[in-house]
Amino acid sequence: MDPLIVLAILLCMLFILLALRMPVAITLITLSLLGIAIIRSPLAAFATLAGIPYDFSAHWSLSAIPMFLLMGALSHRGGLTSSIFKAAKIWLGKTTGGLAISTNVATAAFSAASGSSLAATAAMARLAGPEMLAAGYAPSLASSVIAAAGTVGALIPPSILLIIYGWYAEQPIGELLMAGFLPGLLTAVVYCLVIYLRCRISPDIAPPCHDEVTPSQKLKVLMKIWPLPLLIFSIMGSIYTGIATATEAAALGCIIALLVIIFRGDFSIRVILSSLSDSLKSTAAIFFIAIGAALFANLIAISGLPNQVGEFINEISLTPTMLMLIFVFTYLLLGIFLDPIGIMLITLPIFLPAFNALNMNLIWIGIVLVKLIEIGLITPPVGLNVFIVKDAFGDSVAIGDIFRGLIWFIVAEIFIVGILILFPKITLFLPQLMSS
């Protein structure tokens, strides 16, 4: 049987099984081995299974993932999350929609200490959610703000998705992490404007805050979040100056987070063990999916599809604009159904040859890709962030209300994607400074 026909059949099976809620990793591994066995031989499939998982897991650049996850777990377990939210609430609480804006800012700040959208969403849902509900905020606003703000963690360094993308696309991870900073900051600012406008249009969904805050209180609360700028400076500064690789910066972040916990008096064996457990579980889940996707990428390479894509582009004279439109549409569509890491590693073997054939900047492409994945995290029916928030809010908000509240943010995200595509300089400014 023609390898491309085999691949087409397996792709159809893949989407059917994922639609039936089969585990992503198991589905990818099973279909990949089946396809390699059909195209090559069962022996080749066993050889692939023996080699690729080790080659993937042993890649040096990916060692940054467990380190950044551990840093985030230590920061959360050590109380840094609550300190950030309290500071944002005191400084921004008096503005229109102040608590919601504070939540957005605090989530973006915590993302710089966690590297994970899902971790930032889960932490803020349990911390900021009850506060907003107690203040009389509409559940649809409170829940949608947290679900949307959590996606910023996919871009603001450190970003687990960007590390995996850099490994697969063979791009410098340090430059990728720096490239995500300005788009992540832009997203957080646009979200603040969306919240403000929404609360101005419908004042009843966000009652004004009447708590009086003195200048001394504002200064005092800032003293409690000093570890955050220290973490950000140590990670981004060491990567930007070339002093450390992404993995070394992650290790430095872990050390600083641990020292902060000790200095603040929050150190305990329970905090350490809980942090290690959290990071181990997250690392195992990420690597299991990524290994399955790496096997699937090998199947795509064996089928000859990348070469076919390159020839097809040359034959039809596909322009970069046309390719970007196809790319954006594909990711928006798949984001409705699939896991973020799964989407990225399933589609990259198909799109990367096309981008290379047209000499498109892969660092810029990586940031646009992660932005599109962000949209998938809040898009029905699968939006992972939505279900994390729903779990934290319980019966106080319905899934439908969360998704309706997210319409504002989805529109904002599409606007931001358009800006990043039209003005690549926003993404490439910091990486170009690094390499100059």
CA dihedral 296, 298, 302, 305 (to 10 degrees): 60
For the chain, give the percent of residues with pLDDT over 90. Answer: 16
Question: What is the arithmetic mean of pLDDT over 382-396?
Answer: 80
Each residue's pLDDT tens digit, 210-237: 677 777 777 887 777 777 788 878 888 8
**Lowest-confidence range among 188-192, 295-299, 312-316?**
312-316
Residue pair 406/386 in contact (Cβ under 8 Å)? The answer is: yes
* AA letter at 74: L
Residue type, 293: A
C-alpha span between 24 and 105 (Å, rounded): 32
Range from 12-16, 56-60, 361-365, 375-379 carrying the lowest mean pLDDT: 56-60
Average pLDDT of the chain is: 83
Phi-psi region of 295 (alpha: psi -120 to 50; beta: other; left: phi over 0): alpha
Q: How confident is the model at residue 115 (pLDDT cuts 50, 70, 90)?
A: low
pTM (whole model) above 0.85: no
pLDDT (tens digit per residue) in 128-149: 888 888 888 898 899 999 989 8
Q: How many other C-beta atoms are found inside a 10 Å radius of the C-beta of residue 252?
A: 20
What phi-psi label fits residue 370: left (phi over 0), alpha (psi between -120 and 50 degrees) or beta?
Answer: alpha
- Tell me the residue type at 359: N
| Domain span holding position 430 | 3-435
Q: Which amino acid is at 115?
A: G
Residue 424: pLDDT band by 50, 70, 90 thresholds?
A: very high
pLDDT of residue 436: 67
Q: What is the pLDDT of residues 331-355, one digit of tens each?
A: 888 777 666 777 787 788 888 888 9
Between the two ends of the chain, the Cα-to-Cα distance in Å is: 51
Q: What's the total number of domains in the chain?
A: 1
Q: Residue 310 above 70 pLDDT? A: no
